[in-house]
Chains A and B, each alone.
Chain A
Amino acid sequence: MGIITWSRIRSPWLLHFNTGGCNGCDIEVLATLTPRYDLERFGCLLKGSPRHADVMVVTGPVTRQVRDRLIRVYEQMPEPKFVVAVGACACSGGVFQGCYNVYPGLDAVLPVDAYIPGCPPKPEAIINGVAALLAKLEGRL
């Protein structure tokens, strides 16, 4: 493993994007970063700017209004970039499946690397998803 790969796996920076969710997933993503669950021990850091981020954490169903912005933010992220879909809504549309303004899942819009199901997923599940993504990176990069 080269030093670049090593450092990428040790410090994935996250960008959180809510595409129109109910906030349930968002507060669980935040809870994952706070002391009890402490995702930061994996080197993850929540970042505000897409240009600093390696992993985009998307919560909520993708609405028609937000789609173009989502793609633009994704394009602003430097390579290599990864997308994690958190929650039933981001995975498949969840309860909002069939609503006129909602895409059936994030993978209709962006390539997704990890899915974390649940409505909302528990923080433990989110940690598991991130750990799985990191393991995947180790093999792939």
Chain B
Amino acid sequence: MSVSSSYERFFDIPIGPQHPALKEPLFLKLIVEGEHVVAADVDVSYTHRGIERAMQERNYVQNIYLAERICGICNVAHTLCYCQNVEGLYDVEIPSRALYIRVLVEELARIHSHLLWLGVAAHEIGFDTLFMYVWRDREIVMDLIEEVTGNRVTSAINTIGGVRRDVKPETCDKCLKAMDYIEERTKYYKRVCKTDPTIAARCVGVGILKPDEAVRLCAVGPTLRASNVKYDVRADDPYAVHDEVPFNVIVYDTNDSFGRILVRIDEIFESINMVRYCIKHMPSGPVRARLRLNPPVGEHLSRVEAPRGELVHYVKSNGSEKPERYKVRTPTFENLSALCEMLTSKGNYVVNIADVPVVFASIDPCLSCTSRVAILDSERGKIWIGSLEELKRLKR
């Protein structure tokens, strides 16, 4: 804690970039008055790797694997969005079996991501038993993903024109059986979360985000849906076969961290049903359309509902084997401004320092995809986030 003057009312508390409560490098600056947080600021530049630039230097096939590594947890959403984007340049029909497999893997990944998050949230609350239980059951989903795609985490299932491998009938049977087990366990976790006094004490009324604020600050995903705004890309702008696979958009009107837990648990149930539907209704046929290596000139934008919210990719092609420009907008980046709002006490709503990890975890932060460049100006001794215009000026 830095104390600049003993007469000051406000203190700065710097947290990070390496900190027990954070799994990723992030610099969180809290301004506190006594126990209450009055303002918060985040610096996410520690994971900046320059992926967008790297994508412009590699060809479209290499970029699938780079897009996948923007974020390891939502890698399926990233490859799906990337592949849809590039396919959009060609104007081709993707075989419908491939689309079903895409949705199947996407929903399996969502179950794994939400279970992972539930464990991490339980850990932040201080309920490590729940963390261990959830992660034990999550391994079953990881096994399924490994069985379907060949790898546990970075699955590399989506490719331009379809998917890389077909699903075997035995795998489908295993999937259905595992889904029954996961459903059973998730019901149990829902009961635990609803009845446990510790969880209620740490989450109810903590991290409030009002619906109008959520919309104004462009929150996305479960964070938005826990503020009673019914918005989900899968329902509002269906991609792959989401227009055929039935599901409900889950909303809660509690506006707090507790609502965010319940939204994610209920989404696990929806995803389980979608996995079942995909397996039962999967058409037969090829799983991949072969495409030319160089896409035609043009640009395309595609959206996907990643586990953390709306994910947008944009590509501009000049007809060569490398994209001319690639742009990624990730859900956590959108949610950060909402996070700063949640961490600001005002009126009757107070945020204690002890609540910060819970509120922070409640947006399901995934910073690897979020980072932007910060430029250190040593002459003026300050740090600013550079826009393109400013960068150009600096160059001159």
Do A and B belong to a common assembly? Answer: yes
Chain B, residue nearest A37 (CB) = B139
Please name all residues of chain A whose beta carbon is closer than 8 Å to the beta carbon of B194 when the two chains form the complex. Answer: none
Contacts of B21 in A (CB 8 A): 48
B153 touches A120 (CB 8 A): yes
B149 proximity list for chain A (CB < 8 A):
none
Which residue from B25, B72, B154 sits with its C-beta under 8 Å from A69? B25
**From residue A20, how far is it (CB to closest CB) to chain B in Å?**
4
In the bound complex, what is the Cα–Cα distance between A27 and B57 (angstroms)? 29
Residues in chain B near residue A50, CB distance under 8 A: 18
Contact B153 A66 (CB under 8 A): no
Complex CA gap A82/B45 in Å reads 27
Tell me, in angstroms, the Cα distance from A119 to B24 when the chains sit together: 18
Judge whether B17 and A27 touch: CB under 8 Å.
Answer: no
| Residue in chain B with minimal CB distance to A47 | B20
Q: Is the CB of B136 within 8 A of A101?
A: no
A48 touches B19 (CB 8 A): yes
Specify which of B45, B49, B116 is in contact with A61 (CB 8 Å cutoff). B49
B185 on the A face (CB < 8 A)? no
Interface string of A56-87 (1 = CB under 8 A from B): 00001101011001000100000000000000
Please tell me which stretch of A1-9, A91-99, A105-113, A128-136 contacts chain B, meaning at least 4 of its Cβ atoms lie within 8 angstroms of it: A91-99
Q: Which B residues are in CB contact (< 8 Å) with A31? A: 135, 138-139, 142
Interface centre among A28, A48, A49, A99 (most CB of B within 10 A): A99
**Nearest Cβ distance between residue A130 and chain B, in whole angstroms?**
18
The complex places the Cα of A31 from the Cα of B46 at a distance, in Å, of 24
Q: In the assembled complex, which residues on chain B have CB atoms less than 8 Å from the CB atom of A25? A: 72
A102 touches B72 (CB 8 A): no
Give the docked Cα–Cα distance between A25 and B73 (Å): 10
- Binding-face segment, B63-71, B174-182, B238-246: B63-71
Question: Hey, which chain B residues are within 8 Å of A17, CB to CB?
Answer: 18, 25
A66, B24: Cβ atoms closer than 8 Å: no
Chain A-chain B contacts (Cβ-Cβ < 8 Å), number = 120
The interface residues of chain A lying within 8 Å CB-to-CB of B158 are none
B249 at the interface (CB under 8 A from A): no
B65–A95 CB distance below 8 A: yes
A41 at the interface (CB under 8 A from B): no
In this assembly, does A12 line the interface, its C-beta being within 8 Å of a C-beta of chain B?
A: no
Contact A36 B25 (CB under 8 A): no
Bound-complex Cα distance A107 to B119 (A): 33
B192, CB-defined interface residue at 8 Å: no
* Contact of A20 with B49 in the complex, beta carbons under 8 Å: yes
**Would you call B190 an interface residue if the criterion is a C-beta within 8 Å of the partner chain's C-beta atoms?**
no
Which residue on chain A has the smallest CB distance to residue B134? A34
Contact with B along A111-133 (1 / 0, CB 8 A): 00000000110100000000000
Of A36, A65, A122, the residue contacting B48 (CB under 8 A) is A65
Are B23 and A65 in touch, CB under 8 angstroms? no
**Which B residues lie within 8 Å of A141 (CB)?**
none
Chain A residues with CB under 8 A of B132 = 34-35
Q: Is B75 positioned at the interface, with any CB of A under 8 Å from its CB?
A: yes
Chain A residues within 8 Å of B48, by CB: 20, 63, 65, 101
A20 and B47: CB pair below 8 A?
Answer: yes
A22 with B71: CB separation less than 8 A: yes
Whether B23 pairs with A26 at a CB distance below 8 angstroms is: yes
Within 8 Å of chain A (Cβ to Cβ): is B374?
yes
* B interface residues (Cβ-Cβ under 8 A, vs A): 17-21, 23-25, 45-51, 53-54, 57, 65-66, 69-73, 75, 116, 119, 131-132, 135-136, 138-139, 142, 152-154, 366, 368, 371, 374
15 contacts across the A-B interface (CB closer than 8 A) = A17-B18, A20-B25, A22-B72, A23-B71, A23-B368, A31-B138, A34-B139, A66-B46, A69-B18, A95-B65, A95-B66, A96-B54, A96-B69, A101-B50, A102-B49
Q: Apart from A22-B70, A24-B154, what 12 extra A-B contacts exist at CB < 8 Å?
A: A18-B24, A18-B47, A20-B25, A20-B371, A31-B138, A35-B132, A35-B136, A63-B46, A65-B48, A94-B69, A95-B69, A96-B54
